[in-house]
Structure 1
């Protein structure tokens, strides 16, 4: 019997390391990064429609529905599969826009996997990941659902097992524009490539984000959050977004630090995960 509805998580990710090792002729940057999921994120509620329409509620501020990655993912899956069904999709949004937590990409991946199940398509993860890559470089890691070492523009993935500490994530209330970061003349673009084995041996103390100095310079609020958090625990920027995170060994330490975060910043505690909560929910 076809499913009547699905409720699925769209988890956040952190970049535990982010190196920019070059720039391609097409303008994209060559990266090396470590992706890890969090047990915190958005939630999508999906119901099938018989008329082929894709309807999203609520609309996001300043993001037309046609440009939302949820709608784009659903329509891409319709085109790829020839499916004539549609969907009502309700989004519970918790992750900040432009925060570097992969919210839009995660929403797209949850839409692809959720509708694949809801529409009874049974497409392979490889096919769904390839479709996701047409929507954004971070979508495939959410589709595959395992912590990963990533190269290229972030699409060449090798599953890894990372430590699973507790994180305090702070959003200082600004939206970082990724094109502004990657287009900044001062951005480091020539970090020497390293092997995955060396990256994993280096561990958290040696991990860094090459985008961090540029984001600090362009967005003083992010610099303030990094300075505040870094005085209390090892802190880093995630992705090219506004969110910064601190790594702690125990939940009680993370909860204690969360209680100290200034109230004008959004903050939360989450556990690092090597398997995506989306895949746990789907039972894949």
Structure 2
């Protein structure tokens, strides 16, 4: 049995558009979006223990281990293995190299949880299928199944309905405006648009340029002015918009040189970086072994 799995990528995602098209009776918002994987993210390391404990071996400011999605994901998988009648798997030490900002709209915590499920399914030789892991992951958050799905996707419902979609090969410049946005606060705002017209996947695929908008952006910009400042600055290079519920802002480029030229000009007040579009999750092969 393999006992160590290091340098496991937990890639970020960008919402190429994000429409709020309705609201369910239980309060959950109905969305349409395209989720784009990129080659920047957190990095996780897993080492099996000789006992049954699940431990995080790194400190994350403001995130107690017990509430960390990484630890919760490992325990959910452990419980699911036991529910199958199997012996309790050995424990694991998990180290997290946090590169993505919290409250950035990049799906960092959800991606960390998905990578944990993918890695431990392999290390523990649990044998769960992709669909089974997605069912476990949704208990942790609506975005977790996407990262287990492992492909860029046209996403609907509350995030549970996904269709694989091919997206252009692009580079992105991403700006971190320096604020952390609570997702629940954005969705609770009375001024949020909740009735955008429903679109079809063909509408997105047929668009010659950037498609749609982010319905959450107007609300987020009002509550967190640095987001509006970053969007306005980045718009000089193309269609700039916020990802997710914020706070990060991005712009796409057809080649790396264009991205580098824009990145070189980002004001020092902001942290900024470039990333390449991915077609598949880096750990997708773990479900084929």
Q: Note whether the superposition's TM-score is higher than 0.5.
A: yes
Question: C-alpha separation between the residues in 2 aligned to 1:201 and 1:115?
Answer: 39
Instruction: Quickly say closer, same or farther: Cα 1:39–1:281, change in 2 above 3 A.
Output: farther
Aligned: 1:205 with 2:210 = yes
Contiguous gaps of at least 5 residues in structure 2: 83-87
Q: Do structure 1's residue 84 and structure 2's residue 89 form an aligned pair?
A: yes
Q: Which residue of 2 aligns with 1:223?
A: 228
Residue matched to 2:248: 243
User: CA 1:150 to 1:239, structure 2 compared with 1: closer, same or farther past 3 Å?
Assistant: same
> In the alignment, what sits opposite 2:44?
44
The two structures, once aligned, show a CA RMSD in angstroms of 1.3
Residue in 1 aligned with 2:66? Answer: 66
Q: Are 2:265 and 1:260 aligned?
A: yes
User: Which residue number corresponds to residue 3 of structure 2?
Assistant: 4
CA distance 1:79–1:204, change in 2 (3 Å): farther
Residue deviations 1:216-247 (CA, integer Å, cap 9, x gap): 11100101000111122210110002000011
- Cα distance between partner residues in 2 of 1:53 and 1:164: 42
Q: How does 1:91-170 map to 2 (within 5 A)?
A: 91-170=96-175
Moved >6 Å (runs of 4+): 281-284
Q: Does 1:29 align with 2:34?
A: no
Q: 203-212 vs 35-44, which deviates more?
A: 203-212
Gaps of 5+ in 1: none
C-alpha change, 1:94 and 1:158, in structure 2 (3 Å) is same
- Farther off after superposition, 205-214 or 27-36: 205-214
Pair 1:204–1:54, CA change in 2 (3 A)? farther
1:50·1:84 contact (CA, 8 Å) conserved in 2?
A: no
Q: Give the match's secondary structure for 2:174.
A: strand
1:206 alignment partner, SS class: coil
Per the alignment, residue 196 of structure 1 pairs with 201
Alpha-carbon distance in 1 for matches of 2:95, 2:63 = 15
Matched-pair contact (CA < 8 Å) for 2:16–2:211:
no
8 A Cα contact 1:16 1:204, kept in partner = no
CA contact (8 A) 2:217 2:246 kept: no
The 1:14–1:204 alpha-carbon spacing in structure 2 relative to 1, beyond 3 Å, is farther
State the Cα distance separating 1:204 from its structure 2 match: 4.0
Corresponding residue pairs, total:
283
> C-alpha distance in 2, partners of 1:108/1:48?
17
